[in-house]
Amino acid sequence: MRASLLVLALFVGSSLALTCNEIDGHLKQIDVGNGQVFGVNSGNLIYTRYGNAWVQLPGALKHVTVGPAGVWGVNTNNFIYKMVGGNWIQTQGLLKQIDAGGNQFVAGVNMIDNIFCLNRNPTVATRGGESSLPWNLLPGALKYYSCGPYSCWGVNSANQIYLKNGVTPDACVGNTAWQQIPGALSMIEVSTDGSVYGVNSAKDVYRRDGVSIGNPAGTGWTLLSQCGKSKHVSYDLGVLWVISQDEKILTCS
């Protein structure tokens, strides 16, 4: 019991109030990066934000991502798609969740929680239609995986949090073993500036404090109480985008 209380104390940290505003629309998942906003709704319809309006894109995806590696997504069959010239082109492989936030490389997890990443050259070069791509299989098992400029974070089926350091565009597998981070989250996202946010099983939103290239693990968690009960988050350019548990869209800063 004492150990459990210690872990809880380490995780809860302090509480920080943000100002959040609801915007139009409903989504089940959202991803922001490089000044762009993409999301999918409960019907797997795909949207992007232009100015103050949502524009529907062709196709259907259950998860979409945008970042330095471009715009990617996966559908209900776990097929992988990349946006090329404004069109969705299927690429080789199967993933249930994908992330384009790495430094021009993509990463994700498959249906049985295997972890994969694709180095910069094939990520940038692929135009779809290849019989195979040189996906790298990482050790371990995660249900959600997200990368930033110098590290990747993930959560497993038990909601334990893990960090992979030493990732580079040409060595996306990293050069160190997994580091377990105190706390528990059901999903986690790393922004293109390295900031880390996540949501726990109680639908509370947290920010990892003290994250830097010199200290990728950061120092502790802060509860973002003004976000309310939420299911998904993504951060870019000083704005935290939040999907509430009833799929409303909030911007918090």
Q: Answer whether 89's CB lies under 8 Å from 116's CB.
A: no
pLDDT score recorded for residue 18: 79
pLDDT score recorded for residue 58: 97
Q: What CATH number is given to the structural domain containing 183?
A: 2.130.10.30
pLDDT at position 30 over 60:
yes
pLDDT at position 141 over 90:
yes
Count of domains for the chain: 1
DSSP 8-state symbol, 227: G
pTM for this structure? Answer: 0.92
pLDDT score recorded for residue 16: 54
What average pLDDT score do residues 95-108 get?
97
Output the average pLDDT for the chain.
93
pLDDT at position 86 over 80:
yes
Q: Answer whether 148's CB lies under 8 Å from 188's CB.
A: no
pLDDT tens string 190-229:
999 999 999 999 999 999 999 999 999 999 999 999 999 9
Range of the domain at 245: 2-252
What average pLDDT score do residues 127-136 get?
92
pLDDT at position 3 over 50:
no
What's CA 93's distance to the chain center, in Å? 19
pLDDT tens string 59-77:
999 999 999 999 999 999 9
What average pLDDT score do residues 39-49 get?
98
Q: Could you give the CA distance from residue 47 to residue 86 in angstroms, rounded to a whole number? A: 13
